[in-house]
Chain A
Amino acid sequence: MNVSGCRFAAALIAVVAVGLGEVHGQKPAGFIDITNGAGVRFRHVNGASSDKYLAETIGSGGLFLDFDNDGWIDIFLVDGGSLADPAVARQARHRLFKNRGDGTFADVTAASGIRHAGYGMGACAGDYDNDGRVDLYVTGVGANTLYRNTGNGSFTDVTRAARVGASAWSTGCAFADLDKDGDLDLFVANYVSADVRHNPYCGNARLNTRFYCHPIVFEPLPSVVYRNDGHGTFSDVSRESGIASLRGNGLGVVIADYDDDSWPDIFVANDSVPNVLFRRTGPWRYEDVALQAGVAVATDGAARAGMGTDAADYDGDGRLDLVVTNLDFEMFSLFRGLGGPLFTYATPESGIGAATLPFVGFGTVFFDFDNDGLLDVAFANGHMLDNPAQFRAGASHAQRKLLFRNIGSRRFSDVTSRAGPGFALEKVGRGLVAGDIDNDGDLDLLVTNNGETADLLRNDGPSGHALVVRLIGTQSNRDGIGARLRLTAGGRTQLREVKAGSSYLGQNDVRQHFGLGDATRAERLEVRWPSGRVDVAQDLAGDAIVTVREGSGVVDRRAFAK
């Protein structure tokens, strides 16, 4: 076919595609890979070696945060390292990218004071000292680091002084005000105890085929919870709280009030052992209720390989639901909240079951990509094994991402093929977080990939109206982590809970995004702060970022940058 023929064919395909979209009444989405153009230059160093250290395939994550409080969310990417080769390890470097607000990012790592150490895994961000500047916690193999934001674009390593430098293999983390005393505490999931000096050989020696070991080969580790003492220091209260009594291969963490008792509960996605749901039973006392709640295992009573996780009310019934990514041929797990501490395994009824069978899922996020007022869900995928075809024919290391559109009635529709070129990229996906990088009112995505470049995917799909809410706590923690927002627009009420840590080794933009669909205004916005205070705003015009200060209501409104 000549060039003009190609153009004709492309045009024809485009016409047919648009026509199909219209026939089915679905808006085509468009996530565009802008990574290079935006200046987000980062290639994850996984240190992959013939020794097949498990850490090489687990990381790493990344997050959205506004470290300089300029109203434009920035990017932090965790780099891995190498357990086999010090020279490779030296190439690893975490990156902090400042959002210039013009569609590009500047690498400000050098000036930030953030230094790479050990083998990086994940990160979470929260203003633990309530000074109005978001701080950063980075997990890794053997060393975690707390960076205090000093306010001039730089961070200071305060790990030792804050007493939060756990020395295990840490993965997911989350800040939350677990005791509702107004400052953020810290939960850190630990994975397994893998001694690099005695790395087991998993595979077939005769065929000279080595695989990354199954995590169950190693000793599981308990998670760690740090109570913020309020003076820049933390206390490890894992033992007395009951958190340390359970060992698991923890990866994803999401803290939210699942039973609606106004106290945060902690969900940990465990790899190949039952997930845990720590429910508060008293001051700094927790018990695991995951099995009874129906979120520990799938319907067959068997544990899945839990990787990433997120919590949100996807069906609009006012109860939080959970999603957990799993291995291929396990299906990803969707747990629909029934009220109280009970969930039902909703994977088959949701439409994500069969569609997720071929994928090894990691990052996941509930987000309303098309601003229709219904929470959709996306997944970043990539195999654990770098040679999976030797294990299962047809399996691939790099996999495409998945986007499921919420079509109501508790069902999702796989719209990946119409999600734009950003979703067509096949990579070894790990982290996936959402945030509005260009303040235009729709949610963009950041994807981290093992051993590869990260993907910054700008949402260019046509979308309805929206409202983004930024919280400033006064009596509660400064970022309003744990606050519950109920927004009513067009007769529909949507629920959000502010979280600082979710998905896989990452964290979303903490500003809360609400799609309004055709509605141009929200009838009501209610913010229930962790302190118990409730602020209500009526008749809010959409298509703006509004700031709600605890006790003062809406204090700022900025129209979307269109």
Chain B
Amino acid sequence: MGIRFARVAVKSVDTRRHLMRAVVTAAILAIPAVASAQRQAFVDAVAELAQATEGVYGDEGPRVGPALDAMSRALDTWDGRLESLEEVARGMPLVPLAIYRRGFEQLAGGELRPAIAELRRAASTDPLVTGSPSEARRVQGLVYWAESKFDKTIEQLEAAIRLNPVDERSRLALSRVLTSAGRDIDAQRVLQDTLRVIPASGRAHWWLATSYERVNRFADARSEFEQAAAHAVAGSAPLLGAVARLASGAADNAGAVDVLRRAVAADPANAEWHRLLAGAYLLEDHPDDALAEFAAALRIDPRDADAHLGVGQIHLNAGRNAEAVDALRRAAELKPNSIEAEYALATALTRVGNGREAARYFEHVQQVQRQRQTDRRRQLLLDIQREEAALRGGSAAR
């Protein structure tokens, strides 16, 4: 493979110790990736590879080499079972560093040999691997961060960026450190600069999105999540889900429908996207489309109580009360104490003339409502007590 561990100009004892630990850790962590590749568990091997390139914290980087080596050795027995990286990143978006993106795209397309060649080429320019002078600064900065020395951390990371302006990892690390220090605006500025220097940084888009959302810049967050999703090699559905959530928050239900359709297309085996899309369809008064999506969710998981509830509510609204009772009974059985299901079931039972059973559910719904109201009030009153104590300068209520 020929990938060297970073030979950086290490000045700090802590940093040296850290890098030594990284080497040892790499050897240990590479074992599962190698083993996965050798037993043809390519999905797992690629997952290891994806994690290896994360490199947010320095000791993960060395895993790139062993994982690639293992995959390369296993090529002869490659049988094409790696159909898509979607499996790898179903619940977690795979938004690689810009330099690795093309390689991962090839992996996603099943072009294994070109992918490994491309990943090797990219690794050969990775500061983590090449021993770029910026890497020592980055590692030093991360050590300081571990010691909660924020000013020194920032100083080192800024130095790393000055030494190597296209060191995406250092830029991302700096933004994360600033965010952790509550300096959201500064973190955003770093990420914006990163995108100016490295426009293909999907991670910068992603982190910028989360940062914008944290400070209530929802429209900007939505735009950045869209960009991040476009840069995701796999697992774009959660990012699209974030876009849908922000669209709903902006009362753009048509936009939510559109983006949830894309999420379903990106991850059709996930019932959650079908359910969310169904809910958005209902808001748009497209009950037939909603019913189809709830049905799709139930094909994936027949015990999905929320999907049964959705089906029941659609039947109820359409006056198909008997069908509604069936679906809502199932929902109530699968999700005991769900007042949403019980209320809908009680309503349906009332309409089919089963008032006695309906009364039982209504009573329980009322009990739960009262309890929730009491709990909510108690929580609000606690919040008030805490703030009033803060106002008085006291800390007793904290």
**Chain A interfacial positions (CB closer than 8 Å to B):** 200-206, 213-214, 216-217, 273-274, 291-292, 294, 297, 299-303, 328-329, 331, 338, 342, 344-346, 348-351, 353-354, 357-358, 389, 392-394
- CB-nearest residue of chain A relative to B386? A205
- CB-nearest residue of chain A relative to B282? A348
CA A562 – CA B390 in complex, angstroms?
A: 64
Q: Which residue of B219, B316, B369 contacts A274 across the interface (Cβ within 8 Å)?
A: B369
Quick one: given A301-B342, A392-B216, are A354 and B284 in contact (CB under 8 Å)? Answer: yes
Contact A201 B388 (CB under 8 A): yes
Q: A216-B380, A358-B250, A393-B218 are in contact. List 20 more A-B contacts (CB 8 A).
A: A200-B388, A201-B388, A201-B391, A204-B387, A205-B390, A214-B380, A216-B373, A292-B350, A292-B362, A299-B340, A300-B340, A348-B282, A348-B285, A348-B317, A354-B283, A354-B284, A354-B285, A357-B253, A393-B216, A394-B219
Q: Does B366 contact A (CB under 8 A)?
A: yes
CA A274 – CA B369 in complex, angstroms?
A: 9
Quick one: given A303-B369, A342-B351, are A357 and B380 in contact (CB under 8 Å)? Answer: no
CA A202 – CA B388 in complex, angstroms?
A: 8
Q: Which residue of A204, A345, A354 contacts B251 across the interface (Cβ within 8 Å)?
A: A354
Contacts of B216 in A (CB 8 A): 389, 392-393
- CB-nearest residue of chain B relative to A294? B347
Contact B390 A206 (CB under 8 A): yes
Q: Does B265 contact A (CB under 8 A)?
A: no
Q: Does B313 contact A (CB under 8 A)?
A: yes
- CB-nearest residue of chain B relative to A345? B317
| Chain B: minimal CB distance from A397 (Å) | 16
Quick one: given A291-B366, A292-B358, A357-B251, are A205 and B387 in contact (CB under 8 Å)? Answer: yes
Q: Which residue of A273, A301, A392 contacts B340 across the interface (Cβ within 8 Å)?
A: A301
Contact mask for chain B residues 344-388; partner A; CB cutoff 8 A; 1 contact, 0 none: 101100110000001100100110010001001100110110011
Contact A217 B343 (CB under 8 A): no
For the A-B complex, the count of residue pairs with Cβ-Cβ distances under 8 Å equals 108
Contacts of A389 in B (CB 8 A): 216
CA A200 – CA B350 in complex, angstroms?
A: 42
* 14 A-B pairs in the complex with CB atoms less than 8 angstroms apart: A201-B384, A202-B380, A213-B380, A291-B362, A291-B366, A297-B343, A299-B344, A301-B342, A301-B365, A344-B316, A348-B317, A354-B283, A357-B251, A393-B217
CA A405 – CA B340 in complex, angstroms?
A: 31
| Chain A: minimal CB distance from B382 (Å) | 11
Contact B339 A301 (CB under 8 A): yes
Contacts of A342 in B (CB 8 A): 350-351
User: Top 3 A-B pairs ranked by shortest CB distance?
Assistant: A301-B343, A393-B216, A358-B251
Contacts of A202 in B (CB 8 A): 380, 383-384, 387
- CB-nearest residue of chain A relative to B281? A348
CA A348 – CA B344 in complex, angstroms?
A: 16
CA A214 – CA B317 in complex, angstroms?
A: 31
- CB-nearest residue of chain B relative to A353? B283
Contact mask for chain B residues 199-231; partner A; CB cutoff 8 A; 1 contact, 0 none: 000000000000000001111000000000000
**Chain B interfacial positions (CB closer than 8 Å to A):** 216-219, 249-251, 253-254, 282-285, 287, 313, 316-317, 319, 339-340, 342-344, 346-347, 350-351, 358-359, 362, 365-366, 369, 373, 376-377, 380-381, 383-384, 387-388, 390-391
Contact B344 A301 (CB under 8 A): yes
CA A358 – CA B253 in complex, angstroms?
A: 11
Contact B285 A353 (CB under 8 A): yes
CA A297 – CA B347 in complex, angstroms?
A: 11
CA A301 – CA B338 in complex, angstroms?
A: 9
Contact B283 A344 (CB under 8 A): no
CA A206 – CA B395 in complex, angstroms?
A: 12
| Chain A: minimal CB distance from B397 (Å) | 11
Contact A351 B376 (CB under 8 A): no
Contact B376 A203 (CB under 8 A): no
CA A506 – CA B210 in complex, angstroms?
A: 45
Contacts of A358 in B (CB 8 A): 250-251
Contacts of A345 in B (CB 8 A): 317
- CB-nearest residue of chain A relative to B374? A216
Contacts of B343 in A (CB 8 A): 291, 297, 299-301
- CB-nearest residue of chain A relative to B377? A216
Contact A205 B251 (CB under 8 A): no
Q: Which residue of A302, A351, A357 contacts B285 across the interface (Cβ within 8 Å)?
A: A351
Contact A201 B387 (CB under 8 A): yes
Contacts of A354 in B (CB 8 A): 251, 253-254, 283-285
Contacts of A348 in B (CB 8 A): 282-283, 285, 287, 317
CA A477 – CA B145 in complex, angstroms?
A: 80
Contact A216 B376 (CB under 8 A): yes
Contacts of B391 in A (CB 8 A): 201, 205
Contacts of A294 in B (CB 8 A): 347
- CB-nearest residue of chain A relative to B253? A354
Contacts of B313 in A (CB 8 A): 299
Contacts of A201 in B (CB 8 A): 384, 387-388, 391
CA A389 – CA B218 in complex, angstroms?
A: 11
CA A348 – CA B218 in complex, angstroms?
A: 25
Contact B217 A217 (CB under 8 A): no
CA A348 – CA B373 in complex, angstroms?
A: 26
CA A300 – CA B365 in complex, angstroms?
A: 11
Contacts of B384 in A (CB 8 A): 200-202, 213, 217
Contacts of A346 in B (CB 8 A): 317
- CB-nearest residue of chain A relative to B345? A301
Contacts of A394 in B (CB 8 A): 218-219, 250
CA A358 – CA B250 in complex, angstroms?
A: 7
CA A202 – CA B383 in complex, angstroms?
A: 8
